[in-house]
Amino acid sequence: MKRSSQRSHEPTVKHREVAGLILCEEHIPPGAFAHLHWHERPWFSFVLDGSYTETRDGVTRECPPAAVLFHPGDYSHSCWQQSGVRLFNIEVAPRWLEIAGEYSVVLDEPVLYRGGPPVGLAARLHHEFCEADGASALAIEGLALQFLAEASRRPPPAPERRRPQWLKQAEDLLADRFTENLTSEEIAATVGVHPVHLARVFRQYYSCSPGDYVRRLRLETATRELCASDTPLIEIALGAGYCDQSHFSKAFKHRTGMSPARFRQSCHPR
pLDDT for the residue numbered 1: 43
pLDDT for the residue numbered 99: 66
Tell me how far CA of residue 22 lies from CA of 92, 96, 106, in angstroms: 7, 12, 20
Query: Which domains are assigned to the chain?
Result: 12-151 (2.60.120.280), 165-267 (1.10.10.60)
User: Three-state SS for 76?
Assistant: strand
Is this structure's pTM higher than 0.75? no
pLDDT for the residue numbered 160: 43
User: Three-state SS for 59?
Assistant: strand
Q: Residue 56 and residue 150: Cα distance in Å, rounded? A: 25
pLDDT tens for the chain, 270 residues: list them: 444 334 444 565 778 888 788 888 888 877 777 767 667 778 888 888 887 788 777 677 777 888 888 887 777 777 776 677 888 888 887 777 676 666 555 566 778 888 778 888 888 888 888 877 777 788 888 888 788 777 776 654 444 457 789 999 999 999 999 999 888 889 999 999 888 888 888 888 887 888 888 988 898 888 888 887 889 999 999 999 998 999 999 988 887 778 898 888 877 655
Q: Residue 35 and residue 32: Cα distance in Å, rounded? A: 10
| Residue 25 per-residue DSSP state | E
Sorted by sequence, the CB contacts under 8 Å of residue 222 that are 6+ apart come out as 236, 237, 239, 240, 242, 248, 252, 260
Task: Report the DSSP pairing between strands 85-92 and 12-18.
Answer: unpaired
pLDDT for the residue numbered 233: 92
Question: Angle, nearest 10°, between helix axes 195-206 and 184-191?
Answer: 90
